[in-house]
Structure 1
Amino acid sequence: MTTLPMPSLRLTAAAAVALTLWSGGTAHANTIPGKTTTPSGGAEGKNVFASASYSNIKVTQVSGPTGGKRGSISSTDVNWKPPPCWYEPVFTPEQLKEFSETVGLGYVSPHVSWGGVKLWTDHYRDSKDATNWNDDSFSSASGYDDYNLGKEGYFWRGVAPDTADPDSWGCDRVMFWQNAGEIPAVPNAPTPKILAEYAYNKVEVPGTEIELRPTARSTVNLPTWVWLDKGTFQEVKVRAELPNTGLWAETTAKPVALHLDPGTPDATVYPASGDCTINDDGSIGTPYTAGKASEAPPCGITYLRATDGSPYQLKASVTWQITWQGSDGTGGDLPNGTFDTTQGIDVQEIQSVNR
């Protein structure tokens, strides 16, 4: 049986029949659950080879803090998203021979799986053609002779972290051969920019541990000073490399601003925009010192109403400027990212006694 949750423009009844029947196995076009492409286990594992949601891209942190609470940034551009799919080298001829003749169950493209040894051996060993599903004409993919054993190169397959994304159908060409040292001349072939965009969601930045004065409890109509010490936030750089291609990219996140949301409309924020910029020395705001209790801080909040059993939820959001550079000398900007933390703030009234 074949399940085909493709966009309707890619499907016809005849195409479904064409996909299904080769003697000795069944091809399925369906969706792989899960969205992560973080490597989990060795790339030599048969389960890895069987999955087209797995990526061989290796991401390592080059610089920046590694301890404490950290988290992924969120893009400030609601329309931006990471690459929906790309192609990667997956098998050597020897690996494909072993997989085809011993497992014979896995994805030959992000949305099409082959279940049955004969499907794999027919195409990759015995030179029988297959069908590409990455275009409206369902073009033919020429078969291979004995897995290209003795040749230097790799079989490449599409990777789609989220197969529910309609754009992930752009990489559904049946797994194909590419000579060693070459990048295939096909749409959605990997580039340094794709690696940089992939790494965007792998950047982990430190949590926003802001300093507050007074620390325990704020007082109505008296400013609460907010700051981040010099060196609290450092830029974070990660490197993404695609093995066996020579392609790499480094994505850098640099903190540029702190935004304060007091958690209530009954408050005055400093500055009025709530955006506290980074100082030249890397700090944000100005530390509180004795004698400044009544002064308006360069970065802070004055609460105008006391809390009543439930603290206000002060949200501190750091904006991170994202840039990248790649192995071919290219580079540029990616959308800014933000990382938020929230903490409770109790606000008290000043009690006075008249005689």
Structure 2
Amino acid sequence: MLNRHPMIRRAALGLAPALLVATGLTAAAIPPAAADPEPRCSIGSCDDDDGGSEAESGDGSVTIFVWGSGTTGGGEGYEIPGESVTVLPPCRYFNTTWSGKQYYDMVQSGEWVGGRDEDGNPIPPYPGYEAYKDDTEGRWWSGMCSSADYDGPIEDFIEFSNDWFDNEFEPLYVEPGEPVPVPPIPPEVLVQVAYDAMTLPDPQIGWNPRREGDGATFVNLPTWMWLEDGPVTLEVHAEAGANEARVEATMTSMNFSASNAAPVSCDGHGVAWTSGATSDCALTFTRSSAHLPGGITNVLAESEWAIEWFANGVPEGPLDPQTTSATFGLPIAEVQTIVTR
């Protein structure tokens, strides 16, 4: 049984064959294809320069370019190498597998049924289909929209898909060697790609006091903690066609805890110890680690990151924050003193 969202009925039936999935429900207006005794035509690795579909698979996948940059606690900038990511956009073309001749024969024989529009009128055949009536190499590409591939409210998806079918989509005939049609990729899709591509680093921690040789700190002395010169801001861009999304992550705080010290939470990434500096980011250990396995105390360091995103340079608000963590072993030594009177 087919289910249709009432607001997207026209999008599903307005141009056939079209397929639309909304809130997990499927609506289809795809007539049965004629038997295809010919080999499937591979349009061949014809990636469009702006990020093309995987023509051979016929699934409408689109390649998105992702790159980024960051700054360290020392203020130095660095680049994150670019890479290509393949995704299924919410509205896309798909290969019907019909050659020009097959489609022409279906229309002429009455086997092709295009459905009806909002007003109940029959949907006409693809424009210009007669021009390909003798062609057996190319393939017709039609359109579909799927809310499963749209990261946003269903109302926004409906608006986006209706706009695509109304203003951008038309069935296309693609000859072997020609670029596969590439639909627009909305920022809501790009931001998810950028967010998924952002790898936040585990914190690398410095501390003081730090005894030469074994790196030990000491009982009952505040031990400063800070992030070594690692990333404190990151941004990742995802771009396809005319749209770009940018995700920015900023380290907002660090937390430290250990079994024999009161936990501490610090704004920012801490302050590296220097003579005369001040910091409230310190653990005070109450017992040495000599009795523990390996002679060390395990310290948990967590870094918290606030994340925002931008669509074509316009701020769009926060995304879910992230936390990274690392555990490191710290020797805790005692300082022996002699008291005299």
Superposed counterparts of 1:28-43, under 5 Å: 43=52
2:248 touches 2:309 (CA, 8 Å); kept in 1? yes
2:87 aligned with 1:87? no
Structure 2 counterpart of 1:228:
227
Matches within 5 A, 1:119-130: 127-129=112-114
What whole-Å deviation, never above 9, does each CA across 1:150-190 have from its counterpart, x for those lacking one?
Answer: 9xx9845548579xxxx9xx99x9xx9675499xxxxxx96
> Deviation at 1:267?
0.8
Give the Cα separation in 1 of the matches to 2:219 and 2:124: 76
Would the alpha carbon gap of residues 260 and 100 (structure 1) be closer, same or farther in structure 2, given more than 3 Å must change? farther
TM-score by length of 1: 0.51
SS at structure 2 position matched to 1:195:
helix
Aligned residues of 2:254 and 2:302 also touching (Cα < 8 A)? yes
Asked whether the equivalents of residues 69 and 78 of structure 2 are also in contact (C-alpha less than 8 Å), the reply is no
From the superposition, tell whether residues 347 and 90 of structure 1 become closer, same or farther in structure 2 (CA, over 3 Å): farther
CA contact (8 A) 2:246 2:313 kept: no
User: Quick check: 1:235–1:252 contact (8 Å CA) kept in 2?
Assistant: yes
The answer as to 2:283 corresponding to 1:301 is yes
Amino acid at match of 2:282: G
- Cα 1:288/1:61, change in 2 over 3 Å: closer
Question: CA 1:56–1:275 in 2, change beyond 3 Å: closer, same or farther?
Answer: same
Q: Which amino acid aligns with 1:58?
A: F
SS of equivalent residue, structure 2 residue 92? strand
Distance 2:257 2:62 in 1: 38
Aligned to 1:241: 239
Contact 1:85-1:159 at 8 Å conserved across structures: no
8 Å Cα contact 2:32/2:112 also seen in 1: no
Taking only aligned residues, the RMSD between alpha carbons, in angstroms, comes to 5.4
**Partner SS state of residue 63, structure 2:** coil
Q: Which amino acid aligns with 1:268?
A: A
State the Cα deviation string for residues 120-161 of structure 1 (Å, max 9, x = none): x979xx84459xxxxxxxxxx9974678999xx984554857
* Contact map agreement 2:251 2:306 (CA 8 A) in 1: yes
Structure 1's unaligned 5+ residue stretches are 1-5, 26-41, 69-83, 102-117, 131-140, 183-188, 279-283
Report the count of equivalent residues.
251
Q: Whole-Å Cα distance in 1 between the matches of residues 257 and 233 of structure 2?
A: 23
Is 1:287–2:282 an aligned residue pair? no
When normalised by structure 2's length, the TM-score is 0.52
Tell me which residue corresponds to 1:331: 316
CA deviations over 1:33-64 (Å, ceiling 9, x no partner): xxxxxxxxx845445x4557x55333221554
Kindly indicate whether the alpha-carbon contact (under 8 Å) linking 1:127 and 1:144 is maintained by their aligned counterparts in 2: no
Cα distance in structure 1, aligned partners of 2:31 and 2:286: 69
CA contact (8 A) 1:315 1:340 kept: yes
Q: Does 1:56 align with 2:63?
A: yes
Change (3 A) 1:55 1:148: farther
Matching of residue 319 in structure 1 with residue 304 in structure 2: yes
Q: Is the 8 A contact 2:303 2:325 kept in 1?
A: yes
Larger Rg: 2
Change (3 A) 1:235 1:43: same
Separation of aligned partners in 1, 2:124 and 2:202: 52
In percent, how many aligned pairs have the same letter?
A: 21
Question: In the alignment, does 2:254 pair up with 1:258?
Answer: yes
Give secondary structure in 1 for the equivalent of 2:90: strand
After superposition, the Cα gap between the structure-2 partners of 1:237 and 1:287, relative to the gap in structure 1 and judged at 3 Å, is closer
